Amino acid sequence: MTTNKSRSRGRPRRFDPDAAVVTAQQLFHARGYDAVSVADVTDALGINPPSFYAAFGSKAGLYQRVLDHWTGTAAIPLGDILRPDVPVAVALAAMLEEAARRYASGPAAGGCLVLEGTRCSDEDAREAARALNLGAESFIRDYIAARHPDAANEVTDFVATTMSGLSAKARSGHDLPRLLATARLAGSALEKTLSA
């Protein structure tokens, strides 16, 4: 007998939506929201469109599920990296390096799923990604403001801009060493600015 792992409730399903989210996350991350069609997803999952729409409602609905899953598994753990017991500049530099590592074009060549999502053409998906990104930036801003209130806004903009650039360059072919060197150079600017 084939066991059906992870049924969300008593209601049985023929395919596993959670596994579908993982597959979809890989597709979206590798090729971007716009470039992945619903047909691509249904083909990858071996299902037909009605099953897809019964489970997710729409392409943007699937993307929302992917973002939810991503925050729990693949997002940079800001709470761990932005520690109160290290200098702010050191913590931010570590964050940029971690971003470089995660954006580097490995097997799935992708940049940041969220930052790239904020640039897609579908309004619902774009706003969902933007909301997530704004939340992360607020977290960073609050962290900086606790010890450097006057510099919080511009330093947040700087690291956010650097991360957007790193994601774009990862997508356009920069490999890990190049991204890391860029992240470190950006990090060195922080130590100078925040040493007041």
Partner DNA sequence: GATTTTATGTAGTGCTCACTACATTAATAA
Partner DNA sequence: TTATTAATGTAGTGAGCACTACATAAAATC
Which residues contact DNA by CB under 7 A?
10-15, 36-39, 47-55, 58-60
Residue type, 80: D
Binding a copy of itself (rule: CB under 8 A), the pick from 37, 48, 138, 188 is 188
SS (H, E, C) 115-169: HHHCCCCCHHHHHHHHHHHHHHHHHHHHHHHCCCHHHHHHHHHHHHHHHHHHHHH
Q: Name the binder of 8 from DNA, a copy of itself, none, CB < 5-8 A by kind.
A: none
Based on CB atoms, which residue is closest to a copy of itself, 51 or 182?
A: 182
C-alpha distances (whole Å) from 105 to each of 59, 164, 170 are: 25, 15, 6
Based on CB atoms, which residue is closest to DNA, 121 or 172?
A: 121
Among the listed ranges 11-19, 47-55, 56-64, 178-186, the one in contact with a copy of itself (CB under 8 A) is: 178-186
Q: Name the binder of 94 from DNA, a copy of itself, none, CB < 5-8 A by kind.
A: none
SS (H, E, C) 75-119: CCCHHHHCCCCCCHHHHHHHHHHHHHHHHCCCCCCCCCHHHHHCC
What are the residues binding a copy of itself (CB under 8 A)? Answer: 34-35, 115, 118-119, 121, 130, 153-155, 157-158, 160-166, 168-169, 171-172, 174, 178, 181-182, 185-186, 188-189, 192-193
